[in-house]
Each structure stands twice: as structure tokens, then as C-alpha cells.
Amino acid sequence: MENFLNKLLKVPWLIIAITIVTGVLLFMVMKQNSRMETDLDKYMPQDHPAFVYSDMAEEWFGINDGIIVAIENKNGVFNTETLDTLKQLTKKLQKMDEIEKEDVTSLYTADNIIGDEEGMDVKAFYKRVPKSKEKLDLLQENVRHNEMVYGRLVSTDETVTVIIAEIRDDVFTQEFYNEILDLVDSYQTENISVHVAGRPIVEGTMALLGPADMQKMVPIVLLVITLVLFFMLRSVKSTILTMAVVFFSVLWAFGAMALSGIPIYAVSTMIPVMLIAIGVADGIHLYSHLQLFLIKNPDASKKEATIDMIKNMWKPVVMTSITTAVGFISLLTSQVYPIKYFGIFTALGVLMAMVLSLTLIPAGIMAFGLPKVKKPKNTEKDDDSSIAFRFASNVLKRKSVSIFVTIAIIVLSIIGMQKIWINSSFLEKFEKDSDIVLTDKFINAHFGGTTTLNLILDSEDKKDIFKEPAVLRLIDKMQSKLENDLQVVGNSFALTDYIKRMNKVMNADKEEFNTIPDSKDMVAQYLLLYEMSGDPENLNKVVDYDYSKANITFQLKSDNSKAINSAIAIIDTFEDDFAKNGVSLKYAGSGYKGLVFTDLILEGQIMSLILSLIIVIVLLSFMFKKFVVGLIGAVPIIITALISFGTMGFLNIPLNTTTALLSSIAIGIGIDYAVHLIEQYRTNAEKTGDKILTAKKTMAHSGRAIIFNAIVVIAGFMVLLFSVFPPNRELGALVSLNMFTSLVGTLTIMLVLLYNTNLYFKNKQKSE
């Protein structure tokens, strides 16, 4: 070991040069190959049965997410200016390369099913923009009497009309997003306001704000960590070298991501913040030991001091880095791609921080010299006058307090955990007063909803089943129940809406005929008339060619899990009735996939938590050659995880793609404290043979470094409170809480357990 260190310390400038050159190469790779993933569907496993079926259904019925452009005129939309704006915007959207012409729906393109002398006709509401009052009044009257557009394409207060432009997932780009925003802005006037919303816009905004948020966070984190480090280490050289370690570890993480062809997801933007806050831990422990050594050995050369630092600290540094990496690698159990890749590349960054800490920091000390250490008072003797000694003595004197407080906290946390819920909402990742949220709220207030849930009725190729009046009435009954019973469901659309409209217009527009006909033949005749008079392709959105599969679209005013689950709960009550007709219920579309997404988050969270705990216990047991040590080392992080989830429950903070990282972060970082304390406790036990003195010396050495480490990490994660995304702020606050509870748990209950279990002592000694 010493021979290797001697050789390593002879070439400090070579190590520094290799580190810098490698970092530059990784930066170039990152700059050329990194890309932001804007398609939220790509966050999900494509081979999952629910997603496979949903993708098939999307192909059958042309289900795509829509960009919603709302044109508002507070004086009413039935005027020449507003209708012309609607027409021009519709045509502009139809001409865009990313949008199919037939996938743009507005009052300008919608079909008006009417009755005439010959039976039924399907006409456009208008082709030329009406200018006379008579024509405008006629258009207004036609819209008011058509249930298929009134309240759907024109608001019931008649001040807003919408254009829905459906697009495929693979066509959305940042350039297209900007083009849409520029187009919308060009039609704003004194009388007309144009708003844009919809899932693709949410995706685009997240893709825009994600990197911008990272660009804002990283400099702030760097500044805060640097200042706190300097305050702790009291050395410019030590601070610069420690920050260099985390800087190059971030380059390694993102460079490897770019080389692997893995895109940057929204959650990936937090990796730099994580690594900057976590990566300094090794440097803090190395320099803390170095400072204590220099205080006791002021005449030591830089080579002697560096060799002593590495010989005594390499083992805990390696152990803590491995256990931290394990916490993040456990996220591989998640089927959610962003979380999985976050775990892989954060773990890689942590391991690279370890390698760089054990190479770059010693090389830097040899190249630039030892840090200046100011010798504090009372260092000549280890007695009870030191703060660390007094703290350790008080903890051991009041062991029962630590035990009872820990039990009370665990019970309270378990109660809070019962209230945790999962949230699939992407919209709730934004500020409540942000433009995108306010626009979504505005459109939801005037229309059925910006979120869609697609129910697929599948008869397994039973031809013409959806011409049966009994089946159509059941669909209509289900639509009515959801619209009437759930405030969150604003509208629904299905084949029944066509049938009811045609039955009404064929019976002199009498409201009592706005129902499903009694005869299957009559239904078939209506459909034939529509196919002859209108555009039969419109029916492809609601039923397949053989009438063996049908699509019902429910519009919801919220995209969170509670809203979607409430709709599904009522739909499922109709399952038996449909089964009697040979029809099964299945789901599709982005709303449903988002719900499945949340279930996968929960499954991954539970699996990663259990797996990481097991692996950490096994690793600690192997490292310290005692199973009981593994269990004791896991106590603080188990308590921390319970407190974290209990806090989430009490504060109504949901699990989502961001907060799902919490347990792995808590375990990955929190276990560092346990490893350093146990290793130092073992070393002191071998040297002193005295339980009380061992605890006190351990607190004076590792306790000091652990407190420094916790302060730096907490300061780093508190920076997330400045994020534009509320879940990031929640994560920052919760991780900071985790680090504090891990710190307190390690220095109290874990120390008590180490003391009481008589580890590393053959003969039990009396405590004070």
C-alpha cells in the first residue's frame, strides 16, 4: 500500500493533467451528443402490457394528444373579427408540416348534422366568414342547437372558441413548440386574446424550463457549497480541490450519459445538484482527518501527512462511496426510465467522486502544498472540556431518552405514512400562478377539460355489436353518470353522440328524440346516411370499421391521479353490464398511461427501498465482519426514511417522479455517516479498550466531520428551494430534513446501540 502511495505521490502533475484532459473530452462529448427528452411517453416502458395495448388503440382510433388553442373575445365570438381569426389560425395550423390537415378541429372545420327535405345533410358551419348580422345570428343559432359543438368547440358563455390540433408524439420538437407560440402571439389584438394549452405544450414547457432551471441551480449550488466549504475547511486550496472533484464527477456522469445515447430527462437536471452536494463528502472527511493529524503533528511533511490521510481514510471513503452508489443503483428496480437512468448515472458520478478524491486531492496537496491549519485551544489533552466529549457523555448518560424519542418518532411517522398518495400530474409540476397552469385553468373553466381518458370497448371482433341499441344505451348511461356525478369530468364523446344527434335532426329537432333509437336497423340507416352525406372518416375516431371496437373519450379538468382514478372507479361499475353483452373495458391514451406510470413509480419506490436496505445491511456486515453492525448501521437510515414519508403524508406531499427518488437519496447519503462513525468507533476501540473513551474520541473525530458533511449537504439541497418546479423544492426540503435526521440519528441512537451491544469489547465495562 505504502509503495503504491509513494509512486502515486511522485507524479502529482500527471494526475492533475489526466483529470483535466479527460474532463475536457467528456465536456465536448456532452456538448455534441446531449439532448433533452420532450416526449413524456418516452418516460414509460414501451413493453408494458398497458402501454402496448394503449399504443394499439391509439393506432386504431387515431388517438393523439392535442394542442388546444383558445380564442377569447369577452364581447362574444360571433363577430367577423373573431371568426376570421379562428379561420386563419385553423388554416395556418393545417399547413404546418408536423400536423395532419384532417387532425385540426374547430368550428371552421366541424360538421353540422342537420335535417332537410331529403332526410339528413352534413354541412360546414361556415366557409366564408359571415359579415352581416343575419348570417352571424344564423351561425350562432346553429351552434347553440348542436350539442356536438356547443360547450365543446364554443363555450356556453360564447366568449371562447377552441381549435384542437392533434399531433403524433414523434413530431414534437423545441422548434415546433416555439413556432406554435410565435403563431399564437401574432394573432393577439386589443379585443382578442389567444391562449395555448394541452399536453404537448406541457411537455414543451417542461423541456424549456428543465435546462433553464439546471443552469440557474448549478451556479447557486456551486457558490453556496464553496462558501460553506471554505467556512468549514478554512483553506482556499482545500476548497478548490474539493470543488474540482465534484465538478469533474458531474462531467463524468453527463459525459457517460451522452456517450450511451441516453437523453436528459426532467429529473436528470438534478444530477449536478446531487453530485455537487454529495461529492464533497469524501473531501470533507479527508481534510478533516488531515487537519487533526497536522494539529498533532505540526512538523510533518506534506508527503507524510498525505500518506497518513490516505492510509487511514481510504477504507471509509471507499465504503461510503460504494454504499451511496448502492442507494442510487437500487433505482434500477424502477421501470420508469428517468428514475432508472438517474440512479445509474448518479451512482457513476458518486464513484468517480471517490476515485478523484483519492487521487486528485492527494496530487493537489503534493503540487500546491498543505493547507494552513490553525491550532485550536485545548488540543493538547483529550478531556471532558471539549464539546464533542461532553456531547458523547450526555448521550450515553441519557440513553433512555434517545430510545424513547426514537420509538415515538417511528410511531408518529407510520401514522403519517398512511396518508401518502401518488400523483401522475405533469401540470402540477409547475407553479400555480405560472402561465401554463393559468391557461389550463382558463380552458378547463370554459370547456370539458384539457386531460383525456380513453375508454376502449372491445368485443373481440364481434361484428356490428356497437349498432345494438342496448349497448349504445349502456354507453350513453355511463357517459351521463360520469358527467353528472363527477365534477372533474366535463364532457365525453362517443358514437352515441352521433347517433343521438342524427335521431334528433331526423325528427324535426325535437329534444325528446335526443336519444338512442330502439331499432338496430334505424341505427344502421342513420350511419349509412352520415357516411353518404358527411365525412365517414370522422367516425374512425369513435368506432372501428366492423363496429366491434369503440372509443369513448372522457374530458377531465385535472390530470392528477385522484381525478383519473375517480373516473375509472365509476366506469368499472359498468364492467359486468358490458360483459353480459360480450364487451370488455380497457383503457388507452396519455391520461391512462400517466396513471399506470404512477403505479410503476410506487412499485419501483418500494422495491428500491427494500433492495437498497438489504444490500446496505449485507455490505456493512461484510465490511465490518459482524451482522449486528449491519443492522445497527441501517437504523438511522430506516428512521430517516420513516420520518421522510411520514412528513410527506402529514404535509400532503405526493409521490411523483421527483419525490420518488427520496428513499434512495436518504439511504445513499445517510449511510455515509454510519460508516464513518462505525469505522472510527472500531479503530478507537482497538486503541483504547475503553468504551466511554472510545465513544468520546469517535465523536471528536468522525462526529466533527459528519456534522461538517451534513451542513454542506443540507446547504446544497436547500438551493433546490429556488427551483421553478414545486416537486424539486419539495425534494430539496425533504432531503435536507433527511440529512438532519440521519445526522441526529447517527450521533445519538446509533452511538447508543454501538455502546449497549458491547461491540469490539470482550469484557462489558461500566458506563458513567
Q: What is the grid cell recorded at 504?
A: 334528433
Question: What local confidence, expressed as pLDDT, does residue 233 receive?
Answer: 83
**CA neighbor of 182 nearest in space, from 87, 278, 59, 96:** 96
In contact, 586 and 57? CB cutoff 8 Å:
yes
Which amino acid is residue 185, in one-letter code? D
In contact, 761 and 693? CB cutoff 8 Å:
no
- In a domain, residue 491? The reply is yes
Which amino acid is residue 744, in one-letter code? V
Integer angstrom CA distances of residue 529 from 17, 139, 537 = 79, 24, 14
Which residues neighbour 705 within 8 Å (Cβ) at sequence distance 6 or greater? 284, 285, 288, 289, 676
Asked if pLDDT for residue 753 goes beyond 80, the answer is yes
Question: What local confidence, expressed as pLDDT, does residue 380 receive?
Answer: 43
The pLDDT confidence band at residue 519, using thresholds 50, 70 and 90, is very high
Instruction: Determine which of 38-47, 346-355, 446-455 has the lowest per-residue pLDDT on average.
Output: 38-47
Question: What local confidence, expressed as pLDDT, does residue 199 receive?
Answer: 82
Per residue in 48-58, pLDDT (tens digit) is 888 889 989 98
Give the whole-angstrom CA distance, residue 638 versus residue 670: 10
- In a domain, residue 583? The reply is yes
- In a domain, residue 526? The reply is yes
User: Taking the model in full, what pTM does it have?
Assistant: 0.78
State which of 542, 576, 594 marks the end of a domain: 594
Give the whole-angstrom CA distance, residue 314 versus residue 137: 83
- In a domain, residue 75? The reply is yes
Mean pLDDT of 111-134: 88
Mean pLDDT of 722-731: 81
Instruction: Please give the residue that has the higher pLDDT: either 501 or 381.
Output: 501
Strand order, beta sheet including 193-197: 104-105, 160-166, 66-72, 193-197
Mean pLDDT of 20-38: 86
Q: Packing angle between helix 271-296 and helix 662-688, nearest 10 degrees?
A: 10
Work out whether strand 489-493 and strand 111-116 pair parallel, antiparallel, or are unpaired.
unpaired
Percent of the chain's residues with pLDDT above 90: 42
- In a domain, residue 534? The reply is yes
Asked if pLDDT for residue 379 goes beyond 50, the answer is no
Q: Which helix (H) or strand (E) holds 230?
A: helix 199-233
Longest dimension (CA), the chain: 110
The three-class DSSP label of residue 197 is strand
Total domain count for the chain?
2
Asked if pLDDT for residue 383 goes beyond 60, the answer is no
Mean pLDDT of 70-74: 95
Phi-psi map region of 108: left, alpha, beta (phi>0 left; psi -120 to 50 alpha): alpha
State which of 594, 615, 643 marks the end of a domain: 594
Mean pLDDT of 476-498: 94
The pLDDT confidence band at residue 348, using thresholds 50, 70 and 90, is very high
Mean pLDDT of 680-685: 89
Mean pLDDT of 275-285: 83
The DSSP string of 458-474 is E-SS-TTGGG-HHHHHH
Give the whole-angstrom CA distance, residue 745 versus residue 662: 18
Question: What local confidence, expressed as pLDDT, does residue 38 receive?
Answer: 63
Question: What local confidence, expressed as pLDDT, does residue 727 receive?
Answer: 77
Asked if pLDDT for residue 601 goes beyond 80, the answer is no
State which of 594, 619, 636 marks the end of a domain: 594
Question: What local confidence, expressed as pLDDT, does residue 22 receive?
Answer: 94
Mean pLDDT of 462-473: 94
Integer angstrom CA distances of residue 241 from 88, 319, 396, 491, 612 = 60, 21, 37, 60, 31
The DSSP string of 535-593 is -GGGGGGTB-TTSSEEEEEEEES--SHHHHHHHHHHHHTTHHHHHHTT-EEEEEHHHHH
* Residue 630 CB neighbour total at 10 angstroms: 21
Question: What local confidence, expressed as pLDDT, does residue 41 receive?
Answer: 67
Q: What is the residue range of 76's domain?
A: 63-201
Asked if pLDDT for residue 156 goes beyond 90, the answer is yes
Work out whether strand 104-105 and strand 160-166 pair parallel, antiparallel, or are unpaired.
antiparallel
Mean pLDDT of 57-73: 91
Asked if pLDDT for residue 482 goes beyond 70, the answer is yes
The pLDDT confidence band at residue 40, using thresholds 50, 70 and 90, is low
Question: What local confidence, expressed as pLDDT, does residue 26 receive?
Answer: 93
Give residue 758's Cα distance to chain centre: 44
- In a domain, residue 82? The reply is yes
Per residue in 176-202, pLDDT (tens digit) is 888 988 999 999 999 999 999 888 888
Question: What local confidence, expressed as pLDDT, does residue 521 receive?
Answer: 94
Asked if pLDDT for residue 173 goes beyond 50, the answer is yes
Question: What local confidence, expressed as pLDDT, does residue 376 receive?
Answer: 57
The pLDDT confidence band at residue 725, using thresholds 50, 70 and 90, is confident
- In a domain, residue 608? The reply is no
Asked if pLDDT for residue 752 goes beyond 70, the answer is yes
Instruction: Please give the residue that has the higher pLDDT: either 704 or 739.
Output: 739
- In a domain, residue 350? The reply is no
Give the whole-angstrom CA distance, residue 109 versus residue 749: 70
Per residue in 79-116, pLDDT (tens digit) is 999 999 999 999 999 999 889 888 899 999 998 998 87
Which amino acid is residue 191, in one-letter code? N
Work out whether strand 66-72 and strand 193-197 pair parallel, antiparallel, or are unpaired.
antiparallel
Question: What local confidence, expressed as pLDDT, does residue 591 receive?
Answer: 82
Mean residue pLDDT of the chain comes to: 87
Question: What local confidence, expressed as pLDDT, does residue 766 receive?
Answer: 44
Mean pLDDT of 738-764: 85
Integer angstrom CA distances of residue 441 from 77, 425, 433 = 20, 14, 10
Q: Which residue is listed with cell 388503440?
A: 57
Give the whole-angstrom CA distance, residue 415 versus residue 104: 50
Asked if pLDDT for residue 645 goes beyond 80, the answer is yes
The pLDDT confidence band at residue 32, using thresholds 50, 70 and 90, is confident
Asked if pLDDT for residue 36 goes beyond 80, the answer is no
Highest mean pLDDT among 165-169, 321-325, 466-470, 723-727: 466-470
Mean pLDDT of 205-231: 80
Question: What local confidence, expressed as pLDDT, does residue 2 receive?
Answer: 63
DSSP conformation class of 150: B
* Residue 579 CB neighbour total at 10 angstroms: 11
Question: What local confidence, expressed as pLDDT, does residue 9 receive?
Answer: 79
Question: What local confidence, expressed as pLDDT, does residue 765 receive?
Answer: 47
**CA neighbor of 173 nearest in space, from 29, 40, 38:** 38
Mean pLDDT of 610-639: 87
The pLDDT confidence band at residue 496, using thresholds 50, 70 and 90, is very high
